[in-house]
Structure 1
């Protein structure tokens, strides 16, 4: 159960922050955001803000989205003959079109819709008591969809394609950008949570409880001066010396370690323990605990994590394999492991996955933010947009590729984890 909760929290935070980036800059660019959703499938919570954006939580914690007016196929479709109830203001303009049969207004006007234009002319026509009538629709009117979700209508002036190309570009980039910012913040929090950042330039160490070297009296912040005959000045020296000294070690054999504790120097015999195929003596790098050290150390961890993701992506491109990819099943598995390991492991996973999502979304595949950014750049260079049909076909092709890949990755995860 803890694993499920951890998975939902991690995935929910990453998605919420990513989509909020799109939401914020879309509004700044004059684009109407009709819905900001966390999760997929049927909604379990909905709230309409003063600016008309519907904030919803949906039942499946497998993603999220921002519905921008005019973006892709986000169009309101009302079939001829559909029953609707209209709410009118004092000027006789329609302020609410209810198609759901839910959330009924007792003062609303029933109509069977025969035609409508909610983008340009802003009017709706239909049968009212067997008479055909046309009503003007207010620019900021809302429409209650069949599933009960209430959103703003989308006049042309607030649609995605009518924003400036730079406004659309920053809107598309803002999701990955927010993931990078989240990752950096989480790694800084992680450093503070663990008390500092690892000091790899020092021979001071932290000692693992019940580790091999702890059993001979070595304590936190002691210095390791030598392992065998090899002098130790930093963490790299220490790991190399332990590897060399234990290369031909037999079980139960010991190695000599020269340790400085305060003003006392002593040589101790340590019996290394075997872990994952190699010997360890039970030490970790000492920590830098200054405020600036923690801040810089957290940002450095984020930077190194980004390069680790880029190197993994490079390896994936050079030698593609589904085993190198992970979907929701794999994420659930690692979330469960992190939850069992403790808060610092959960924070590390959150930071790493956030940066990973940011980078992956910048891959120039049409269905991803990176693909949209490429089209924005092409439009800026050409000084005219692609034809709507062309952009739609490109996007649909990208969606098809991503859907097939997602199904393949998820199936591979299931087979790998459960069979």
Structure 2
């Protein structure tokens, strides 16, 4: 087992991963706003009191906040959380009002808001495309090569040479699809459609539960079927094909994230698995210790999650703004400011509650509660 990296390395890795991703996210908003003639008053990496900054010739204050857990772009006229016109906005001179976010048509506002998450997803696609081009993509067929005695696959009657066509109706293309499906469904009962010697049949199977410990001592509860593949097949990917491969990999990761969230919401997976900044810092340090490739892969995963989470239709997030814009497009007028204000308050309460939960989980993941229990005991 490799010793976990120290706090200093974890903090450094966290800043190296999150800082650029937040900058890129906010730069998406900023560039889209600039494209449509919206003045940006402030561009901040981090929240809270400014520790360093500079004002450019356009009047934008570029700065760092003392709390490096996010960032923001404040556009001219953005005077309330719902970004709705108010008395202060109406009091602006016409020339200044034309440069504000609220003065722009609905479609431009939607593009400005969506540009942040979009650029995070684009970055992830480019990184994953690079991995696909450099390493190739897995094309190992979903054919059983070995069966572990006593494992779920053996109990279900699988044999070497069987080809798995689908699991619970979901088409399976490669052996990696089988492993990925089982990984996030420990203990679940599923049905496999299998081809053996030209005959197609179904087999019920209970996915096994494995408690795995990685080289840093982190423990995971994962699903395994107990079968192995034949000889691995890695297909080379040319530069022209790499972006499409990156898109497919990004879609697969988002799909897995959605399924995992669904399991947490339905109670099939523990909420303890949700992590926040402390756990991200810990994982960042571990991946940096493993090398550049592992760390860059983590950056791609974080970029996908940053883009995906911000697109959720939760007030306070970009997706919440887009949700209200969709309602505005349908109604031909925005929701009443009071309704939006209460929605954003509810969104803020939900985000704060989630932050409390993930912080509690993070402190548990780094062993704080166990150490406190030991001291008390």
Task: Using structure 1 for the length normalisation, give the TM-score.
Answer: 0.60
SS of residue paired to 2:110: helix
Distance 1:177 1:7 in 2: 22
Does the aligned pair in 2 maintain the 1:197–1:293 contact within 8 Å? no
Distance 2:16 2:299 in 1: 9
Q: Tell me the equivalent position of 2:249.
A: 301
* 1:280-336 deviation per Cα after TM superposition (whole angstroms, max 9, x unaligned): 899865452543454443333222222222222222332274313111011111111
Distance 1:191 1:58 in 2: 36
Matches within 5 A, 1:75-224: 120=91, 155-192=96-133, 195-201=134-140
Distance 1:157 1:366 in 2: 26
* 1:7-60 deviation per Cα after TM superposition (whole angstroms, max 9, x unaligned): 111111211111111111222233321111111223232122222211112232
Does the aligned pair in 2 maintain the 1:335–1:346 contact within 8 Å? yes
The alignment yields a C-alpha RMSD, in angstroms, of: 3.1
SS of residue paired to 2:147: helix
Count, aligned residues: 284
SS of residue paired to 2:324: helix
Distance 1:388 1:247 in 2: 59
Gap regions ≥5 residues in structure 2: 1-7, 82-87, 153-211, 214-223, 371-377
Q: 1:282 to 1:395 in 2, by over 3 A?
A: same
Answer 1 or 2: which has greater helix percent. Answer: 2
Does the aligned pair in 1 maintain the 2:40–2:60 contact within 8 Å? yes
Q: Tell me the equivalent position of 1:251.
A: none
Q: Tell me the equivalent position of 1:323.
A: 272
Q: Tell me the equivalent position of 2:42.
A: 35
Q: Tell me the equivalent position of 1:45.
A: 52
Does the aligned pair in 1 maintain the 2:77–2:89 contact within 8 Å? no
Distance 1:13 1:282 in 2: 40
Distance 1:295 1:160 in 2: 33
Q: Which has the larger radius of gyration?
A: 1
Does the aligned pair in 1 maintain the 2:145–2:227 contact within 8 Å? no
Q: Tell me the equivalent position of 1:255.
A: none
Task: Using structure 2 for the length normalisation, give the TM-score.
Answer: 0.67
1:177 Cα offset (Å): 0.8
1:362 Cα offset (Å): 1.4
Q: Tell me the equivalent position of 2:184.
A: none
Residue from 214, 239, 255 that aligns with 1:291: 239
Distance 1:6 1:406 in 2: 21
Q: 1:32 to 1:191 in 2, by over 3 A?
A: same
Does the aligned pair in 1 maintain the 2:145–2:230 contact within 8 Å? no
Q: Tell me the equivalent position of 1:243.
A: 147
Distance 1:370 1:326 in 2: 21
Gap regions ≥5 residues in structure 1: 75-116, 123-137, 140-154, 202-233, 249-274
Q: Tell me the equivalent position of 2:357.
A: 408
**Structure number with higher relative contact order (C-alpha < 8 Å, ≥ 6 residues apart):** 2
1:339 Cα offset (Å): 0.9
1:64 Cα offset (Å): 0.7
Q: Tell me the equivalent position of 1:386.
A: 335
1:119 Cα offset (Å): 6.8
Q: 1:171 to 1:334 in 2, by over 3 A?
A: same
